[in-house]
Amino acid sequence: MDIVTAQLFECLYLLDNSEFYLLEIKRNDLSDYAPISEKFKWLKIAKQDLSTVQMTFRSMDASDQIEERYFEEGFLKFNSEEGTFIEKYNSAQHALTNKSGEELPYLLSNHIREFLVQK
């Protein structure tokens, strides 16, 4: 990750499959007084064309082993190895691999930086 990207955001969670990335980022370029909804963002990024959807976070739950995130667009349940994203109205279920802690691919990192700058 380059210096500019490291200063702009950090990746807290990264899950993916053959179709898309689902990740939570924390923006580092905002003041300490910025709203939490601006500092923390969940993004769903298609691998084919890098089209990006900013997920609408609703709530979360966590235990020792399982994390859960509820969005307007669906529900995410994951542990340290894998996860499942269930789209709204159960229209599709997607198995995911948890790659949190791994370095972001350069193209993905660069795309997120550009996405944040455009917002």
* Domain residue ranges in the chain: 3-118
Asked if residue 19 has pLDDT above 80, the reply is: yes
Q: What is the pLDDT of residues 40-87, one digit of tens each?
A: 999 999 999 999 999 999 999 999 899 999 999 999 999 999 999 999
C-alpha–C-alpha distance, residues 36 and 100, integer Å: 21
Asked if residue 28 has pLDDT above 70, the reply is: yes
Residue with tokens 């905002």: 30
Q: Could you tell me the pTM of the whole model? A: 0.90
Nearest to 49 by CA among 16, 8, 21: 21
Residue with tokens 């990335």: 21
Decide if 23 contacts 109 (C-beta within 8 A): no
What residues are paired with 72 via a beta bridge?
A: none
Compute CA distances 109 → 8, 12, 65, 106, whole Å: 10, 13, 28, 5
Asked if residue 3 has pLDDT above 50, the reply is: no
Q: What percent of the chain has pLDDT over 90?
A: 84
